[in-house]
Chains A and B, each alone.
Chain A
Amino acid sequence: MIQEKIYQDLLPQKFGRAGKIWVTVLVAICLVGAIAYYRQLKYGLSVTAMRDYVSWGIYISNFVFFVAISLVGSLITAVLQLTQVRWSTPLTRIAEIIAVSAIIFAALIIIVDMGRPDRFINVLIYGRIQSPILWDVIVITTYLVLGVLLLYIALLPDLAIIIKHKDKVEGWVFSIAKFLGSFWKGTPEQLRLKEKSITILTVTIIPVALAIHTVTSWLFAMTYRPGWDSTNFGAYFVSGAFLVGAAGVVVAMYIFRKFYSLQNYITNSHFNHMGKLVVMLALVYLYFNINEYLVPAFKMKKPEEQHLLGLFSGEFAPLFWLVVIMGMIVPIIIMLFPRGRKPLPMFIAGTLIVVGAWFKRFLIVTPTLLHPFLPMSNVPDSYLHYFPTWEEWAITAGSLAGALLIMTFLTRIFPIVPIEETIKGRMEEESVGTHQDYSEDWKTRQVITPKTHKV
């Protein structure tokens, strides 16, 4: 009976009105982005505001953002699973889907940043392993494959459930499930192989995930420029990535819970746990930020002075302080208190972190390029400032919408909360006689925590 209820709640559901509007809006944004990209292909990168000095604008900021948010797959699925943090189980699918969607668009946006995308193949043909750009290409491809495998292998039992409940899903969803997972019979040998695969994947994906963002940070830190010349950059980027990824999961949790009525599966307790995790990550990131800005500011080396003052009190100061205050300090304050770790405050705090994180990447990329060591002289006025053109905004918005569209599509065809894991958890509870009140707060995976009690 409980199983049937779980199937009914968690099997892929049709879009409601809100879902259709959501998809329409995303498709429209993507189309505008596609038109802008067509113009960029036709007229070249001159349609952007990027010039000789600012050659990395919001495309690269967006790329770093995507890479950062994709790291959540390894955090929620791998790190928390390996450390036996069982409350995160219902969130793993969301994290994996965010990771896959984000990394796909991280790879795409790099190609968008190229003036001649038709020459991308040259990176593979003539690439030099000495170049951090090739490291990034390799590590992104590897992480994408690992992410897809992690999503797919963990999904196999749920695909079998979808196939088994053909009557409860639409034909095309059934066809996809059948194509992908018809071989899953749930035999002990298959289960053993699946568990083995997941264990190998969770162990492998952690160093690759750390590598992906460390290498991304090295794209900057391996060049000698004010603001990028830092040995701290790898750790700084990884900590920021964990923060934005976790915040992204919080935002997704709230939206899925609200629109798919998953209150019994994604509970207040999950928000509470995620809140504590995000606060910890935000404090770590704040610590790295203090290191990254206070140390050079204290020395105020002449060649870096312009760059630092531009951030602290100059052209970029409003954005810089807004990101620090609204993207880090305010969310920390909200989530420090139990009241702040309820779904709605968490959603607000998560949104602030994600939006702040996007602009934070812009602040890492662009101001440095506007303050080279050698003074800019005899250049047109447009070279001295950077504000993206409508094409750049449209393409960037299109890529963000595209990533959301992939997430929406994947959650439309696959269960958002792992069904098989949920049922397994419930059965474990019943076998140890754990009392649960599902309507109030689902604690299936907390049977070993002190909060649960045996009847």
Chain B
Amino acid sequence: MKTMLRSSVIAYISFSLICDPGISITAYAQEKVSPRLDIAYFQRDSAARYLSIKVRKKIGKRFEPVAEADVNVFLEISGENVPLGKIASNAKGEGKILLSADVITSMNDLDEYSFYAEIPETDSLEEVTEYLVIKPSRMRVETNDSDSSIRVMLESKTDGNWEPFEGAELAVFIQRRFGKILIGEEFNITDENGAVELTFDTEIPGDENGSLTLESAIEDNDELGNVYATTNKRWGTPMVAADKFDRRTLWSTRDKTPWWLLVFPNAMIAGVWGVIIYLILLIFKMKRISREMK
């Protein structure tokens, strides 16, 4: 009987391990995990710059987010790691650290940005470090209203000088509220002048002035990171919004009641109350008959 029971337990555990490897991980959940730390650099119009971090751990064959992992981020300036801040990863294992104006000013003097991020050792996580080296860059979007052409210029800093950056992949979009619309090709490569030229030949609704926001984007570039530049142009079709404000609608104030809703119900109310008044008059008429009899 005991042998049978033992065999059953062993068989169950073996079956569980084969069918769901996750069980074995769960069984060792108390042990420290070596997380994977990713760090990315973002630069928008040279003004807003931030670093994005992602902390994950490998379970079986897939990565799962690590929440509430503290990540210290540094920038190397003159051989010293200057702390930029500490981020706690969210439920998706992600976090973001915005670079302050002071930091950006300091970065302007650098020929390259060397970021360093670390997750200190905790009860559940092993210590992990990650480096990211980014080449300073600047991108601008130039336009010509006469032929609606777009010219994107990309430069990078080399030995303290700004020089055209050749060979970067970029795409140009029109920003919309919930996404982007691509203009031209998906992949455009900057030439020896660091330029990409496109023509805007799309009819697309803009705001009430026809204004559109053009965005040039370099994403996941090994040297430059993620760089975006925008400019506004009145190349769109002005959109006349169906403005219901201050009109006669079902949801407007009482002085803006739709005419049909004023006329028909009030006519019905007047009709019925007219009958009521007539009936009350008939009662008075009956009273008058009584008085006349007297």
Contacts and interface: CB of A to CB of B under 8 A. Distances in A.
B267 to A, nearest CB: 12
B253 interface: yes
Contacts of A201: 279
Contact of B276 (A128, A146, A189, A193): A146
A135 B289 contact: no
Given A149-B279, A193-B282, A183 B262 contact: no
Given A183-B290, A184-B286, A190-B290, A127 B254 contact: yes
B276 A149 contact: yes
A210 to B, nearest CB: 12
Nearest to B291: A183
Interface in A150-168: 152-153, 156
B261 A190 contact: no
Given A129-B261, A130-B251, A142 B272 contact: yes
Given A146-B276, A185-B290, A208-B272, A196 B282 contact: yes
B266 to A, nearest CB: 7
B250 interface: yes
A300 interface: no
Interface in B266-287: 266, 269, 272-273, 275-276, 278-280, 282-283, 285-287
A129 B266 contact: yes
A301 to B, nearest CB: 25
A200 B289 contact: no
A81 interface: no
A172 interface: no
A138 interface: yes
A342 interface: no
Interface-central residue, A135, A138, A183, by most chain B CB under 10 Å:
A183
A37 B285 CA distance: 43
A192 B262 CA distance: 37
Contact of B273 (A142, A182, A184, A185): A142
Interface in A181-217: 182-185, 187, 189-190, 193-194, 196-197, 200-201, 204, 208
Nearest to B271: A204
Interface of B: 250-254, 257-258, 261-262, 265-266, 269, 272-273, 275-276, 278-280, 282-283, 285-287, 289-291, 293
6 contacts: A128-B253, A149-B276, A149-B279, A149-B280, A183-B290, A183-B291
